């Protein structure tokens, strides 16, 4: 099993710097023991102008059989002779990938104390693999390497040169040329060699997901063949493939947002129901005192009241296909599943931790087939349009908008109201005026550490009115929880209903009539400020686009 890495240089940047980057001296022939044989590193040529490093892996077929217990291990068929006579010692496979990581571990990590500046710079590289099993043919080889910046040369190896009529074998001679960092090139080979072979010589456990993500850092999340690479690398184990794909999606979202994965995967726990209940108790001291009396009912937690108000509004709207946008840990989805009129329920959240918790809460793995067909959990960011969310009767944003940065709120607005456009949209959010009734909440603080803002009733009505006007909805408001005569309810809810064509025409007629009678158009929302905010302007641009 053989692989060569070649580079060229100049007197200012000699090609022999390759030896520093690989941490292997060109004047020495070095040997490294592996689980299945011996890996040798040597330099057929080493000068200022050209330098070639070669990795030769000698595989012990007997050791491969003895260590690879079980059917089909080592890529060999389950036959007595075939376990000893096969292509494993000669064709590039996971054996060579493991040898690369063992022999060139520092180079794969991009570390080089002697030439640190060279480790971070692209090099003119030429990599040759004389015998590579390619399950998928030359087209797949190109599809895997070309998106990474390589110029790919693939020559099919004939079954027997003396008998060309027999055709080609499944092996190819691969040559990769391009200017890339050496660390990136080694990581590409480490992942894609076993992917092309579509086999591994060792048992694939859960730690392989971490290995894949480390080696795929910076390129796998955006690769067009991401799913095939992930599935084959993890030996088509569905549970591992799903876990890897979920983590790669988080990486993609983080890169798109120019943020860290930890910031994206920020599962937000609901405020403790007991704490919210104590806030409701503070409205009426006498009621709170009576609640402590023996035999009296405890007050209904505000979180429960929110879900009840949402369910009632959904029933009133006649919705049967519902989106729970920002579903968190699945409390609302769980309640909707109890009502058979909700035929299709889709929970969407950016946090995989939250979705995993929701799946456990709903007992999806043990759920009956009919019930399971009603519910779907999707990972996605509400800051981006998503075709999967179109065509639903209703969407719910339950305590979600306040967790979104104000600068990104126009993007959420367009994704929900401009792109998905469900018939009904329910939005609940805290009423900032009510915060003075929270005995344990310091003045000027928001209710949750992840809240980016909290609106007063006037601010919420102003925002909702402008959203409705921009996207062709009507909006109504309702209190959730005890409606304090001075500061209002703890939660405020807006119900948006998509205007029908008939409603739009009558609205235009009324507008025209009002203008002709008064000579000026009446304001549509008394809570609307004189000028749109910068966020409103951004939303208009997004809507126009």
In a domain, 293, yes or no: no
Choose one of 156, 183, 203: the last residue of a domain.
Answer: 203
Residues 165 and 231 in one domain: no
In a domain, 74, yes or no: yes
Residues 61 and 210 in one domain: no
pLDDT at 152: 95
pLDDT band at 489 (very low <50, low <70, confident <90, very high): very high
pTM of the complete model:
0.54
Residues 475 and 419 in one domain: yes
Sheet holding 2-8, edge to edge: 30-34, 37-46, 50-59, 2-8, 123-133, 168-180, 151-158
In a domain, 267, yes or no: no
pLDDT at 521: 39
Residues 166 and 213 in one domain: no
As a whole number of angstroms, the distance between CA 331 and CA 303 comes to 9
In a domain, 268, yes or no: no
Residues 323 and 465 in one domain: yes
Work out the end-to-end distance of the chain between its first and last CA atoms, rounded to an integer number of angstroms: 55
The string of pLDDT tens digits covering residues 146-189 is: 999 999 999 998 888 889 888 888 889 999 999 999 999 999 99
Residues 405 and 279 in one domain: yes
Find where tokens 């692209």 sit: 122
The string of pLDDT tens digits covering residues 423-457 is: 999 999 999 999 888 877 788 788 888 889 999 99
341: which 2 tokens?
């009129």
As a whole number of angstroms, the distance between CA 189 and CA 206 comes to 21
pLDDT, the chain, mean: 81
pLDDT band at 124 (very low <50, low <70, confident <90, very high): very high
Mean pLDDT value across residues 111-124: 91
CATH of the domain at 22: 3.30.1610.20
Residues 333 and 476 in one domain: yes
Classify the C-alpha dihedral 284-285-290-296 as positive or negative.
positive
Give the range among 89-103, 182-196, 480-494 with minimum mean pLDDT. Answer: 89-103
pLDDT at 270: 47
pLDDT at 261 over 60: no
Residues 148 and 222 in one domain: no
Residues 196 and 112 in one domain: yes
Choose one of 203, 222, 246: the last residue of a domain.
Answer: 203
Find where tokens 């059917």 sit: 71
Q: How many domains does the chain have?
A: 3
Q: CB under 8 Å to 242, separation ≥6 — which residues?
A: none
Q: 193 near 218, Cβ under 8 Å? A: no
Alpha helix ranges (H) inside 104-206: 105-108, 116-119, 137-145, 182-197
pLDDT at 494: 97
In a domain, 233, yes or no: yes
DSSP three-state, residue 473:
strand
Mean pLDDT value across residues 113-119: 89
In a domain, 449, yes or no: yes
pLDDT at 90: 79
Q: CB under 8 Å to 42, separation ≥6 — which residues?
A: 29, 30, 53, 54, 56
In 321-346, which positions are buried (b, 16+ CB within 10 angstroms) versus exposed (e)? bbbbbbbbbbbbbbbbbeeeebebbb
Mean pLDDT value across residues 185-209: 88
- 390 secondary structure, DSSP code: T
Give the range among 238-252, 308-322, 333-347 with minimum mean pLDDT. Answer: 238-252
Q: 488 near 457, Cβ under 8 Å? A: yes
The string of pLDDT tens digits covering residues 279-335 is: 444 444 433 444 444 444 567 888 999 999 999 999 999 999 999 999 988 999 999
Which residues form the domain of 253?
205-262
The string of pLDDT tens digits covering residues 454-467 is: 999 999 999 999 99
Give the range among 30-39, 197-206, 344-353, 481-490 with minimum mean pLDDT. Answer: 197-206
């Amino acid at each position: 099993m053989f692989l060569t890495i070649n580079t060229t240089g100049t007197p200012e940047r000699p090609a022999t710097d390759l030896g520093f980057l690989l941490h292997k001296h060109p004047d020495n022939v070095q040997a490294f023991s592996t689980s299945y044989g011996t890996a040798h590193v040597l330099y057929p040529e080493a000068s200022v102008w050209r330098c070639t490093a070669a990795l030769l892996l000698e595989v012990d077929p007997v050791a491969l059989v003895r260590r690879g217990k079980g059917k089909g291990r080592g890529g060999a068929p389950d036959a007595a002779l075939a376990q000893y006579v096969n292509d494993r010692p000669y064709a590039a496979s996971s054996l060579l990938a493991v040898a690369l990581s063992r022999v060139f571990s520092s180079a794969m990590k991009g570390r080089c104390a002697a030439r640190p500046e060279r480790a971070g710079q692209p090099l003119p590289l030429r990599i040759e693999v004389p015998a590579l099993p390619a399950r998928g043919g030359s087209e797949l080889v190109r599809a895997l390497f070309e998106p990474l910046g390589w110029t790919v040369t693939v020559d099919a190896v004939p079954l027997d040169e003396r008998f060309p009529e027999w055709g080609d074998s499944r092996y190819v001679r691969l040559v990769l040329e391009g200017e890339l960092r050496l660390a990136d090139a080694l990581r590409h080979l480490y992942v894609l060699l076993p992917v092309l072979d579509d086999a591994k010589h060792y048992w694939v456990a859960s730690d392989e997901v971490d290995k894949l993500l480390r080696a795929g850092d910076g390129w796998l999340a955006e690769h067009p063949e991401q799913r095939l690479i992930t599935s084959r690398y993890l030996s088509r184990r569905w549970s591992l493939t799903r876990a890897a794909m979920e983590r790669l999606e988080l990486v993609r979202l983080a890169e798109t947002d120019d943020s860290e994965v930890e910031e994206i995967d920020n599962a937000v726990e609901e405020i403790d129901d007991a704490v919210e209940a104590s806030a409701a108790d503070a409205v009426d001291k006498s009621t709170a005192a009576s609640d402590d009396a023996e035999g009296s009912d405890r007050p209904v937690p505000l979180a429960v009241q929110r879900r009840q108000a949402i369910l009632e509004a959904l029933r009133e709207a006649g919705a049967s296909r519902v989106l729970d946008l920002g579903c968190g840990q699945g409390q609302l989805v769980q309640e909707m599943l109890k009502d058979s009129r909700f035929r299709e329920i889709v929970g969407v959240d950016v946090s995989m931790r939250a979705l995993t918790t929701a799946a456990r809460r709903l007992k999806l793995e043990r759920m009956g087939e009919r019930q399971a067909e009603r519910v779907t959990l999707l990972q996605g960011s509400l800051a981006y349009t998503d075709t999967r969310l179109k065509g639903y009767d209703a969407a719910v944003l339950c305590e979600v908008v306040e967790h979104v940065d104000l600068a990104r709120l126009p993007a959420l607005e367009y994704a929900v109201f401009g792109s998905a456009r469900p018939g009904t949209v329910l939005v609940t959010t805290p009423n900032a005026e009510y915060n003075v009734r929270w005995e344990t909440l310091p003045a000027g603080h928001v209710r949750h550490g992840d809240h980016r803002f909290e609106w007063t009733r006037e601010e919420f009505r102003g925002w909702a009115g402008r959203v409705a006007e921009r996207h062709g909805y009507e909006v109504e408001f309702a209190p959730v929880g005890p409606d304090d005569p001075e500061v209002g309810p703890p939660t405020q809810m807006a119900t948006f209903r998509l205007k029908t064509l008939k409603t739009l025409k009558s609205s235009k007629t009324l507008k025209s009539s009002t203008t002709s009678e008064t000579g000026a158009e009446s304001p549509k929302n008394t809570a609307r400020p004189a000028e749109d905010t910068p966020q409103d302007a951004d939303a208009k641009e997004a809507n126009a686009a």
